[in-house]
Amino acid sequence: MKYDYHCHSTISDGSLTPDQLISRAHTFGVRQISLTDHDDFSGLKLARETAESCGINLINGVEISTTWYKKTIHILGYGFNCEDKTFYKNLEIMRNTRIERAVRIEAELTKLGFPNTLIGAQKIAGRDFPISRTHFARYLIKQGYCKNFPESMNKYLSDDAPAGVPHQWIDIPNAIEWIHNAGGVAFIAHPLRYKFPEGLDLIDLVKDFVSAGGDGLEVVYANHSPRQIEHLTEIAFKYNLGASGGSDFHSNDTSMGGVELGHIGQLPAKLIPLTRLIEKVK
Ligand code: AMP
Ligand code: MN
Ligand code: MN
Ligand code: MN
């Protein structure tokens, strides 16, 4: 069955509105989907209306930015109650910290010789806030300062680049608690995408995540190789974690790179799939 438990809409840094995203997934034969916007689940209502009209099964989702030893780690929340006011409010407070962060990113980009990037990013996003690094990257490309998305990230905006300003998100136990309190389950997103701090590695992250009550790993991700999936499967199995998988689709614009909705392999049979974990908590 074609599924996709990780994708983004215009609610965060994606290019398609939640309804366009679900329709596209339907066109590509996806039967089960989770919309996982960064730090925001307000797209789920519209996504659900569209999912119901085209017969796709929608799982409530969100991708929360957290900080672990000064590094940003993304935690996926699934199957929570999207009417939960406390969860919504907590995410809203955290989203608001993107305002001053965007101002700091703009200041760094100005120093690098790229003026007026905040207003440019805001135009791309179609709103004043919240703004993501993706919007800045798209603006740099539009202005011809960078050739493509990887270049804009690697050269200017990623965590180790000059305009990848440090930012304090919430910590992992907090994110897990918010998700659990709203009736959901917590997964580590794209575990192989992180650059770990000196002396720490993925196993340290997994151990901390498990001690904080975390539930699963995103073992299938975008263009992971079978070997990478196997590696993550072994870790998930050892630590008794469930399995999720997603494309992390952001845009239908192929120049942005990325994987198409649902264009991922099946979850490993050896692991408990996300859908079974969600049944358990309900
Ligand atoms: P933000 O949430 O504002 O920190 O923006 C981070 C987003 O930028 C991620 O969710 C990805 O969509 C995108 N991105 C792509 N490549 C990178 C990278 N190398 N480092 C950080 N973010 C990246
Ligand atoms: Mn993103
Ligand atoms: Mn992510
Ligand atoms: Mn994502």
Quick check: bond before 130 cis, omega within 30? yes
Q: Which ligand is nearest to the CA of 130?
A: 1
User: Is residue 281 very low, low, confident or very high in pLDDT (cuts 50, 70, 90)?
Assistant: low
Please give the structure tokens belonging to residue 187.
Answer: 């997964």
Taking only the tens place, the pLDDT of each residue in 123-164 is 999 999 999 999 999 999 999 999 999 999 999 999 999 999
Per the listing, tokens 């994110």 go with 175
Mutate to test the pocket of ligand 1, among 153, 156, 169, 190 (most ligand atoms within 8 A of CB): 153
Taking only the tens place, the pLDDT of each residue in 46-61 is 999 999 999 999 999 9
Atom of ligand 1 nearest to the CA of 154: 19
Q: From the CA of 203, how far away is ligand 3's center (Å)? A: 19
Mutate to test the pocket of ligand 1, among 96, 133, 139 (most ligand atoms within 8 A of CB): 133
Q: From the CA of 189, how far away is ligand 3's center (Å)? A: 6
User: Is residue 257 very low, low, confident or very high in pLDDT (cuts 50, 70, 90)?
Assistant: confident
Taking only the tens place, the pLDDT of each residue in 88-104 is 999 999 999 999 999 99
Nearest CA among 233, 183, 220, 240 for reference residue 59: 183
What is the SS3 assignment for 210? helix
Q: Radius of gyration (Cα) for the chain, nearest Å? A: 18
- ∠ at Cα 45 (32, 9), nearest 5°? 70
**In this predicted structure, what is the pLDDT of residue 228?**
98
Evaluate if pTM is beyond 0.85. yes
pLDDT for residue 16 is more than 80: yes
**Do strands 32-35 and 3-4 pair parallel, antiparallel, or not at all (unpaired)?**
parallel
What single letter denotes the amino acid at residue 70?
K
Residue 67 CB neighbours (<10 A): 17
What single letter denotes the amino acid at residue 246?
G
Taking only the tens place, the pLDDT of each residue in 218-237 is 999 998 999 999 999 999 99
- Rounded distance between C-alpha atoms, residue 146 and residue 156, angstroms: 9
- Residue 94 makes CB contacts below 8 A (sequence gap 6+) with 39, 64, 65, 169, 170
* E strands in 18-110: 32-35, 57-68, 71-78
What is the SS3 assignment for 28? coil
Across the range 175-188, mean pLDDT stands at 98
